[in-house]
Amino acid sequence: MAASGALARAKGVLLSLMEEAYRRREQVALICFAGTRVELRLPPRKAAAWNDDWIAPIGGGGGTPLQAAVEQAGQLLQRHCGAEASCQGWLWLLTDGRTRERPARPAAAQEAGIVDFESGRVRLGRAAALAAAWDARHVRADDFAG
């Protein structure tokens, strides 16, 4: 995603999601993944009004450890929400879908959305296929409105 400018667009989408969470006074967390790394960049907390301190250093490229990232997200949702009925476990996945990994939707993700950053002449539709398998909202990045 880094080379095509999609990473910059992904940061914009991420800021939009975080701003909406801030307006609603919701809890958020952020897991970043690229290359072989999966990193909890922002542990669960109330959404903040200003996010530049953690969003600027987000990088990308070099592969997509999607399975490991989704597993970590599921574990985080399970730990944070547990059996709490009022906890709305949302999972937003921002991806270009350029991976063969097809992780299952985490059971703790009561709602899911996939923002699809795939671009170029040849489109494989993997993010859309994953959204269908997850019964998740699928939004093309260019159409994202929050």
Q: Does the residue 1 lie in any domain?
A: no
Alpha-carbon distance 144 to 116, whole Å?
9
Strand residues in the chain grouped as ranges (E): 27-34, 37-46, 90-95, 111-116, 137-140
What pLDDT, on a 0 to 100 scale, did the predictor assign at position 76?
A: 93
Q: Does the residue 38 lie in any domain?
A: yes
pLDDT 10s digits, 83-112: 666 677 889 999 988 889 999 999 999 899
Q: Does the residue 134 lie in any domain?
A: yes
Say how many CA atoms lie within 13 Å of 49 toward its Cβ. Answer: 0
Q: Does the residue 130 lie in any domain?
A: yes
* H, E, C per residue of 25-62: CCEEEEEEEECCEEEEEEEEEECCCCCHHHHCCCCCCC
pLDDT band, residue 2 (cuts 50/70/90): low
Residue range of the domain that includes 127: 6-143
Q: Does the residue 17 lie in any domain?
A: yes
Highest mean pLDDT among 19-28, 58-67, 77-86: 19-28
CATH of the domain at 39: 3.40.50.410
Q: Does the residue 103 lie in any domain?
A: yes
Place of tokens 């699809």: 116
What is the number of domains present in the chain?
Answer: 1
- CB burial class (10 A; 0-12, 13-18, 19+) of residue 58? middle
